[in-house]
Amino acid sequence: MLDIDITEPANLIAALQHLFAYVPPEIDNWQTTVSDFREQVPDLASRLKTLIEQRHETDPAFKKAFTDFYDTCRTSINPELSQDAVEEMLIQHILTERIFRTVFNNSAFTRRNIIAREIENVVDELIRQAFSREEFLKPLDRFYLAIEQAARTNGAVSSTTRIVSTNRDIL
């Protein structure tokens, strides 16, 4: 608590600067964590890409789910969409699904539209034999928690949008 005479212009300026410079610990933690996340995401994305490539070659159920998703994307989004672009969508979805589910407090989000349903079908096939989503993403728990705390602290849609935009830019 600041105990100064704010009728003095210099004190008022100092008090206002102190007030506007304050960053809640949750936001400070989020900002610090973003830089760590930037370092970890490329490795996880690369591991996912390798896993997807392996599953294309060895798992008919995954290949069918991916082909259905790819066809849906080409029909719904753009007929010229490349397989690499759709694989990138899948990777981004896996890395950000928890953020959208928790920040927007909507667990049904991932099944609400045709693209979301199809991508989750692919994820289900990908993780069926290969890995647990939670285990795979465990290195990012600190980041996810920081985002969730920042979103709860801010509560405002504009802040949540900024958090989601930052995540999209990292990926």
The number of distinct structural domains making up the chain is 1
pLDDT 10s digits, 95-112? 888 877 777 766 666 567
Alpha carbons 140 and 27: distance in angstroms, whole number: 17
Q: Is residue 56 part of a domain?
A: yes
Q: Is residue 142 part of a domain?
A: yes
Q: Is residue 36 part of a domain?
A: no
Q: Is residue 80 part of a domain?
A: yes
Q: Is residue 27 part of a domain?
A: no
Mean pLDDT computed over every residue of the chain? 80
pLDDT 10s digits, 7-42? 888 888 888 888 888 877 766 776 777 777 777 788
pLDDT tops 70 at residue 167: no
Range of the domain at 132: 46-170
* Whole-structure pTM value: 0.69
Q: Is residue 60 part of a domain?
A: yes
Q: Is residue 32 part of a domain?
A: no
Q: Is residue 78 part of a domain?
A: yes
